[in-house]
Structure 1
Amino acid sequence: MVAVVAAVLFGLALLFQLIGFALSVITAEVLVTAGLLCVALHLAGVGNTVQVRSYRRRR
C-alpha cells in the first residue's frame, strides 16, 4: 500500500515538474521527498503485513 502511495507521489512530482506548477507549499521537490519516504517505509516492511488466520481441526 505504501508503495502505491509512493508511485502516485512520484507521478504527481513528474507532472508538477513538466508543467512547472507549484502551490505555496507543495512543490515537485516536496512530492519527491514524500515519495522517497514512502519507499523507505515500504522497504522497511511498514504497511505490507498480511495476517492470515488458519484454523486447523484437531481430531
Structure 2
Amino acid sequence: MIRFVVIALVALLAWFLLVSLVRYLKGANVDWTGLTAAVAFVMLAFYLRHVTGMG
C-alpha cells in the first residue's frame, strides 16, 4: 500500500514539474533551432553507439 502512495506522489510531482515547465517555456524566448540541434546530436550519438557498439 505504501508503494502505491509513493508512486502516486512521484507521479503528482512529475505532473506538477511538467506543467510548470510548459508554462515557463511558453513565456520564455527559447532558441528552438539550437535546442533541436543539441537534442539531435545526442540522439545521433546514442544511435551510433548502438549500431557500432563503440563508446
Same fold (TM over 0.5): no
Could you say which TM-score interval applies, normalised by the shorter chain? 0.3 to 0.5
Q: Which has the higher contact order (CA 8 A, sep 6+)?
A: 1
TM-score (norm 2): 0.38
